[in-house]
Amino acid sequence: ITPANLGKEMVYEENNKYYVDINDEITFLKNNNSFLFTSEQSGFNHIYAYDISSKKLRQITKGDWEVTSLHGIDEQTGTIFYTSTEQSPLERNLYKINLNGENKTTLTPEKGWHDISFSERFKYFVDDFSNVSTPSVFSMKNNSGKTMRVLKDNSGLKKEIASHEIAPLELITVPLANNLKLNGWMIKPLNMERGKKYPLIMFQYSGPGSQQVTNKYSSGNFWWYQMLAQQGYIVACVDGRGTGFRGEEFKKMTYLQLGKYESEDQIAAATYFGKQDYIDANRIGIWGWSYGGYMSSICIAKGAGVFKSAIAVAPVTNWRYYDNIYTERYMRTPQENPDGYDQNSPINHVENLRGKYL
């Protein structure tokens, strides 16, 4: 809005053959008439600069990886700070780069997961670092990546964990048809017996752009999974098509067909697991919450005979009755896409349900 006449002018417009993700990744520069933002227009989420006066667009970061957070810019030095998946889709690392796209530098080279919080003027940041075997270590660093002080190393927690027999969380790759490889994790009982087949419970969420498989220290359900492992269960999780941080095509291929490819991948993953000599193919269950509950419901129906049981917590059972701000972004309206709504709603597949369903 121009204050003098309260007129309106279109500054920038973006279209996408699928949908444009909504985010707050936008920073207006004080020193000139331009702004930074992130976009998937290259097929991967990257940082762009747009000059309002000249209407010129410039891509600052490039590659087959994704920027996950645009922290901002130090305008005095022209340095942009961002977090990305450049090292691995399962990891997050902090980088800085000049406004002209040159002199990219890694500020957190350690493999794993870095949650970053910057000071107001980008001179310092707090790095919450962890990986699958290391609980969070909180450090204060300067904007060159030098550690100024370790704020909390969680040594007490590490000592407590070391005093227990913990089944490790292993990062795995699940190969499916058409050279599709999915990221996953698995927790196995300690001291597994050779030749014995173990029951498997699969967890997933599977919603658009989500991620459950990361090189990050797990909490929450991790301890319940430890109890299950103690009871002789294997626990696994697989991020199928539709999940995030592997490029736009991988994430948005579920457009207009929520539940189709996601359930196909969970069923295929369960079939793959069932062929392993240490897993009992007749005792595979699946569970999830919200979108994961929806997936559990459709998987035990569409995957009749593959899953022995399913637990669905707070599931969507028909996309026609879910909220429109979420659903119509991915599915458009029921009038435009009736088959997409009906063919992947669990309530339309109950006749195929086999096994135990909670």
In this model, does residue 32 exceed pLDDT 90?
Answer: no
In this model, does residue 136 exceed pLDDT 50?
Answer: yes
Supply the pTM of this predicted model: 0.95
Q: In which band, very low, low, confident or very high, does the pLDDT at 8 lie, cut at 50, 70 and 90?
A: confident
**pLDDT in the model for residue 82:** 98
Cα separation, 213 vs 182, in Å, equals 10
Q: What is the pLDDT of residues 165-181, one digit of tens each?
A: 999 999 999 999 999 99
DSSP letters, 60-123, are ---SSS-EEEEEEEETTTTEEEEEE-SS-TT-BEEEEEETTS---EES--SSSEEEEEE-TTSS
In this model, does residue 7 exceed pLDDT 90?
Answer: no
Q: In which band, very low, low, confident or very high, does the pLDDT at 313 lie, cut at 50, 70 and 90?
A: very high
Q: What mean pLDDT is predicted for residues 235-246?
A: 98
Residue 59 vs residues 35, 51, 353: alpha-carbon distances, Å: 12, 12, 49
Strand partners, 287: 203, 311
Backbone conformation region of residue 21, classed left if phi is above 0, alpha if psi is from -120 to 50, else beta: beta
Sequence-ordered alpha helix ranges (H) in the chain: 155-162, 221-230, 248-252, 260-274, 291-302, 324-331, 338-343
**pLDDT in the model for residue 31:** 75
In this model, does residue 3 exceed pLDDT 60?
Answer: no
Q: Are strands 198-203 and 279-289 parallel, antiparallel or unpaired?
A: parallel
Contacts of 203 (CB under 8 A, 6+ apart): 212, 221, 225, 235, 236, 237, 286, 287, 288, 292
Q: Are strands 279-289 and 234-239 parallel, antiparallel or unpaired?
A: unpaired
Q: What mean pLDDT is predicted for residues 273-288?
A: 98
In this model, does residue 203 exceed pLDDT 50?
Answer: yes
In this model, does residue 142 exceed pLDDT 60?
Answer: yes
**pLDDT in the model for residue 278:** 98
Three-state SS letters, 38-58: EECCCCCCEEEEEECCCCEEE
Residue 245 vs residues 73, 128, 297: alpha-carbon distances, Å: 23, 20, 25
Report helix, strand or coil for 11. coil
Q: What mean pLDDT is predicted for residues 38-47?
A: 97
**pLDDT in the model for residue 219:** 79
Q: In which band, very low, low, confident or very high, does the pLDDT at 9 lie, cut at 50, 70 and 90?
A: confident
In this model, does residue 134 exceed pLDDT 70?
Answer: yes
